[in-house]
Amino acid sequence: MWRLATAVLIFLCIASFAGAILTQDGAFQNRSAPFSSPASGHWLGTDGLGRDEFARLLRGTRASLTAGVLAAALSLTISLCAGSVAGYRSGWTDALITHTAEVFQCLPWFYLVVAIRAFLPVTLPETAALLGISALTGLTAWPRPSLLIRGVVMAERRRDYVSAARAFGATEFYLVHRHILPALYGVILVQAVLLLPQFILAEVTLSFLGFGVSEPSPSLGNMLGALKDLHVLMAYPWMLAPGVVLVLVTSSCRIVAKRLHSVYGTIQ
């Protein structure tokens, strides 16, 4: 299983540099060869417009991965700030942040994200669409990691060695930098690996529904949109490649998270 995760990681690295290594243009349309079978010229065949499916798969994976990484970075940054302050300060600050996180967890964020995206222009440039999706989804997932971070910080600040350092005159900056933040490394790492596939799936879902990256720019979501046609789904199996990538990415992230959990002993 660990080898599978390594292979998927290598594929994601290749997809990240798709523009530098591809010889095929994923935007070029060969209308005379729609849904061509996989061959030496087209490793994964072509789509309904004659575009190279492998080139589009790499570029689409890069787009979805970018959205996932940006959203995870935003979410964990907010979680780290909110959870650390709540756990270290306690009192009314802790109560305010904790109750705010609990309220956020109760809201139907996916439907709110779709509603907010519906107010924006139907078609956006790829960069604007990815940034918008990353911001909208990243702002919705901070409560759970922040509560985990709060618990770790609250436990760490009560440790004997922290109390001893404080009694010897250690500053607040020293306590946080030397004792509190190192204890959060494992939690943040595990949460990042767990959140990444969730945000990728969020981008895929929005793009599949027409609220994310729009054609002709590829993403895993709008590539899966071709499978809405049952004939395409049954007759051209290579069009399932984006779905296979999604399954492999989510499974691999789960494998990596379990391995990290066994190493750091952090809560998932």
Which residue would you say has higher pLDDT here, 219 or 37? Answer: 219
Which residue would you say has higher pLDDT here, 18 or 268? Answer: 18
Q: What band does 169 get if pLDDT is binned at 50, 70 and 90?
A: confident
Flag whether pLDDT at 8 surpasses 70. Answer: no
Under 8 Å CB-to-CB from 58, ≥6 apart: which residues?
A: 14, 15, 18, 22, 26
Q: Mean of the pLDDT values across residues 169-196?
A: 84
Which residue would you say has higher pLDDT here, 10 or 79? Answer: 79
Q: What band does 75 get if pLDDT is binned at 50, 70 and 90?
A: very high
Domains along the sequence of the chain with CATH: 2-10+69-264 (1.10.3720.10)
Q: Give pLDDT tens digits for 19-29.
A: 556 556 666 77
Least confident residue range of 22-31, 108-117, 146-155 = 22-31
Q: Work out the mean pLDDT of the chain and round it to a whole number.
A: 82
